[in-house]
Structure 1
Amino acid sequence: MCIPSSDIRVSDLIIIEKNQRVPADMVLLRTTEKSGSCFIRTDQLDGETDWKLRVAVDTTQRLPSMEEMLEIDACVYAEEPKKDIHSFIGKFTRHDGDGAEDPLNIENTLWANTVVASGTAIGIVIYTGRETRSAMNNSEARSKVGLLDLEINQLTKVCVAAVVGLALVMILVKGFDGPWYRYFLRFILLFSYIVPISLRVTLDMGKMVYSWMIQQDKDIPGTVVRSTTIPEEMGRVVYLFSDKTGTLTQNEMVLKKLHLGSVSYSSESFVEVKNHLKSAFTPGATPVAPGAAGAFPGGPCAPQHGDPCARGCPGVLLSAIM
């Protein structure tokens, strides 16, 4: 029987099939795997794609059948809700039979929004709603403002100040005779065209157009523009940092260019580099003249004729190319 997540209460027993999402924070009581453990995917919780191992409570896993698990008298102690998804302290206590007690830790938990990747899991709900780890780690989305918008705001302030300043200058030139404040307002209206009111609308329309063009670009299929306020920030990127999981690189690191001193070699000239290295390390070969095409610049890594180590640097490069 399937029920909505909103109807789940603490102490409910939930059966989670393979590839189903966990609806609430639970303690794993039993699994269909013979090892008494199962794997879960936590990419929606912590961004990691590696499967994580979860172990069922030993007391309930050793029961002959699931029906007997429904007949035992037991309770689960769980700590107060908190944000930390990497730690948990609890205890499973059985009041009948031998009165067994099993300490609980993070390996016995199934957090909400994780996915069971192997077998079928049976767990008892310990946190629901806003008390779940995933809900407590969700922060309110903030509106992102691009640097261009901030610069336009500053420019608009400067233009408004210029309008007021010009109006004051005109009043000083005309004099304060008569209803000068009316003339002051009139000059402000006349100079108000300095403020680029339509610029904001024009920029928003332009952002919508090139956001659509980014999504339609055949060189980057599957790209989704989630914010039309900051695409122009990509043109301001100077340094790009990528984490070790390959989120940006897709784990495909390809050597594009090699810099040795003041000389640069691209992938197209690697054959030439290979030939020069072979000639430099071949006994009796004529060394490449310094400054010649493809020659290595002088320095601690420059190839030395007759030196098999060549101070370490080109030898490493040669083995990499070979």
Structure 2
Amino acid sequence: MKYVKAFISEERILQANNRRFNSLFEYPDNSIKTSKYSFFNFLPVNLFEQFQRLANAYFLILLFLQLIPQISSLAWYTTVIPLIVVLSITGVKDAIDDVKRHQSDQQVNNRSVLILVNGRIEENKWRNVQVGDIIKLENDHPVTADVLLLSSSEPYGLTYIETADLDGETNLKVKQAVSATSDMEDNLELLSAFNGEVRCEPPNNKLDRFSGTLSYLGDTYFLDYERLLLRGCIIRNTDWCYGLVVYTGPDTKLMQNSGRSTFKRTHIDHLMNVLVLWIFMLLGGMCFLLSIGHGIWESNRGYHFQAFLPWERYITSSAASSALAFWSYFIVLNTMVPISLYVSVEIIRLGNSYYINWDRKMFYAPKNTPAQARTTTLNEELGQVEYVFSDKTGTLTENVMIFNKCSINGKTYGELVYQAQSPDEGALVTASRNFGFVFHSRTPETITVIEMGRVRVYRLLAILDFSNERKRMSVIVQTPEDRVMLFCKGADTIIYELLHPSCAALSDVTMDQLDDFASEGLRTLMVAYRELDKAFFQTWIKKHGEAWLTLENREKKLALVYEEIERDLVLLGATAIEDKLQSGVPETIVTLNKAKIKIWVLTGDKQETAVNIAYSCRIFKDEMDAVFMVEGTDRETVLEELRSLGPALSTLPLVCPGATGLCSRKQHGVRAAANSMHVQGGGLLPDDTPSEGPSGRPGEEVQEGGDTGHRGWGQ
């Protein structure tokens, strides 16, 4: 057992359909816990939290002092009853909040799931799912745990998922089953006999990373993120799929990102503690002066009254009488510290949470969804927000792409408007269909296209994935004429550098047209191709396979391999897609500006497009004289440019191309800009990355909006 525990810290081992083996590793069950208290620890934990408030701690000390008859002139119950009332009111409110969390946990843990047991599908609860179980997931149902996709109802084991609850993206993502199991489909006999062994990385909070291996029938298969369905995803457009449970409960990536429920104190709580501390100091000073006066009086005049007001036996001198008088005054003047202060604030918070729930201005009529205050203790923190960091696509815009224009061989097309319900790729495919090139179907090995009425099948040889650093994506196919072709689409500035010198004249014309598209607020892409020599491709594909199977620095090695083949491209043209603003975005931004909230938007668009969108959504205002472009790409250069603006920076619209996280700093004598567009940034930082922005300054709150898991989008 010691060997197992030491080994599991480095990698996770599990076997399919073998609960006995998997139990040796003591993996947690699939239940989750987001509540703070239990029945047994509520009283001590809640009291500990409440006595962190100085006023409550003061009255507790006062209660003990009143139990000392030598210094107390008040009955002990005059303090204990108000204190109990105050603690009870806050405790009841905290208990109600936590009961709601318990109910939410119970609702999730008791959801139904279909588990494969001894060749039969049995209905069970989420909490009873264990690592190594094979479960059946159905269309429009959430994923129970982090599972390895084995098979599905779709051809070649494809499964479509929605990850809106994880990363905010509404676009459907495609996952593909492991090749060794995709042919099992819904054959319960084959799935029950499956005894593959998985070795993978230990639990972590990386939503977009997963690596491991599957050993089955003597063969080893590499596993990556494309094979993993995460807890919290929703199955879409797929009747059913089967998956092998890899991570459960607190080990799932969703819960790894949630963090533990902890006691949080707001800015007002800290402020009240400071104010109460000042009252303590004033009270202590008054008691000290009064005790000094008492001692002087006892020393100079008190002996005249000894006959009928003798000292108690425990008072031996005027100094001793003065010390006791200090604590007596401390008790008598206790009303200087308002015991009802925190109760009043709690009642205000409770009422404010109901006002949030009832606010018609925050009611979303299309889905009949009101605003909901999930906690009654942190409402006022909304008033501390000073910066809002927002994505553009899907947050400010509708994420409904409309193909608008294109440039082919130097000629502009696209007076007609074509609309689709999916983002960029759907808009491009729809536009191609309307021009006579119909995307018919796709399998993991082939792509079928109807070109002007002729059915043509392209063999898919390789996909060079998009990344934030590359800002482009390529696909390599074999045409029906047995030619090997590479097609690439990406940011114009990137594709321009990869073009063959023979395209210089055409590229200059196309770049001018792209600038025209961008000035209209359209999202632009460049498209290029290259015909590959077969011998060169065979050599390259071997390097690609070696890099793909590498577990260490795989992304970096793949990027180097991609660069070898993505060069000397021939320009095909450019595309321009319209993404309309969501209803109410300009009004919302104006309201935020009135609240002195600074707005930063992250976008991967061209500068012209970013500025145009900034004006249309009123991040930039028409009365602004100019837009300042920050051209620096390192910290010192950016800070020097910002310093050169002086006080004008606080009102000047700002565009920072490529300088991720640098323009938003308020340090080294640089004031933060009110509003800005951040172009071609690297995505919002994950929670384990040190922040370089304004959130690092004490006393400021930062609110991230939109697609927080998205990186390098919009290229």
Using the size of structure 1 for normalisation, the TM-score is: 0.70
Q: 1:4 aligns with which of 108, 125, 149?
A: 125
The residue number in structure 2 matching 1:130 is 250
Q: How does 1:211-230 map to 2 (within 5 A)?
A: 211-221=353-363, 222-230=370-378
**Structure 1 residues 135 and 208, CA, compared in 2 at 3 Å: closer, same or farther?**
closer
Range 202-211 or range 68-77, more displaced:
68-77
CA shift in 2, pair 1:35/1:228, >3 Å:
same
Equivalence for 2:488: none
SS of 1:153 mapped into structure 2: helix
How far is 1:247 from its partner? Answer: 5.2
What are the residue-to-residue correspondences of 1:1-80 with 2, within 5 Å?
1-62=122-183, 66-67=187-188, 69-70=190-191, 75-80=196-201
CA contact (8 A) 1:22 1:110 kept: yes
**Distance in 2 between residues matched to 1:126 and 1:242, nearest whole Å:** 33
Q: 1:184 matched to which residue of 2?
A: 326
Mapping of 1:50-199 within 5 angstroms?
A: 50-62=171-183, 66-67=187-188, 69-70=190-191, 75-83=196-204, 84-95=206-217, 101-119=220-238, 120-176=240-296, 177=298, 178=318, 179-199=321-341
**Structure 1 position 140, deviation (Å):** 0.6
Question: Could you give the per-residue CA deviations for residues 223-259 of structure 1, whole angstroms, max 9, x where no partner exists?
Answer: 1122323323334444333234555887524345422
Q: SS where residue 288 of structure 2 aligns?
A: helix
Q: What SS is found at the alignment partner of 1:27?
A: strand
Aligned to 1:320: none
Please say if residues 59 and 100 of structure 1, whose CA atoms lie closer than 8 Å, have aligned partners that are also in contact: no
Post-superposition shift, 1:167?
1.3
**2-structure distance, mates of 1:248, 1:140:** 31
Name whichever structure is richer in strand by fraction: 2
Please state whether the residue corresponding to 2:180 is helix, strand or coil: helix
> What is residue 278 of structure 1 aligned with on the other side?
none
Mapped to 1, the partners of 2:212 and 2:353 lie a distance apart of 49
Partner Cα distance (2:373, 2:392) in 1: 24
How far off its partner does 1:131 sit?
3.1
Tell which deviates more after alignment, 150-159 or 60-69. 60-69
Which structure exhibits the higher relative contact order, with contacts defined as CA atoms closer than 8 Å and separated by 6 or more residues? Answer: 1
Distance of aligned partners of 1:149 and 1:63 in 2 relative to their CA distance in 1, 3 Å threshold: closer
Change (3 A) 1:5 1:236: closer
CA 200–246 in structure 1, closer or farther in 2 if over 3 Å, else same: farther
Corresponding residue SS for 1:15: strand
The Cα offsets for residues 18-48 of structure 1, whole Å up to 9 and x where unpaired, read as 1122222221111111243111122333443
2:276 maps to a residue whose letter is: T
Q: Shift in Å at residue 157 of structure 1?
A: 0.8
Is the Cα contact below 8 Å between 1:207 and 1:231 reproduced in 2?
A: yes
Does the C-alpha gap of structure 1 residues 42 and 192 become closer, same or farther in structure 2, counting only changes over 3 Å?
A: same
User: Contact conserved, 1:41 with 1:114, CA < 8 A, in 2?
Assistant: yes
Amino acid at match of 1:219: K
Q: Secondary structure at the match of 1:78?
A: strand
Residue 54 of structure 1 aligns with an amino acid whose one-letter code is K
Kept in 1, the 8 Å contact 2:201–2:210? The answer is no
Task: Classify 1:160/1:247 alpha carbon distance in 2 versus 1 (closer, same or farther; 3 Å).
Answer: farther
CA shift, 1:3, in A, is: 1.5
On the 8 A contact 1:40/1:114 being kept in 2, the answer is yes
Question: Any gaps of 5 or more consecutive residues in structure 2?
Answer: 1-121, 299-317, 364-369, 399-580, 587-616, 627-715
Partner of 1:308: none
SS at match of 1:10: coil
How far apart are 1:153 and its partner, in Å? Answer: 0.8
* One-letter amino acid matched to 1:217: D
3-state SS of the aligned residue for 2:222?
strand
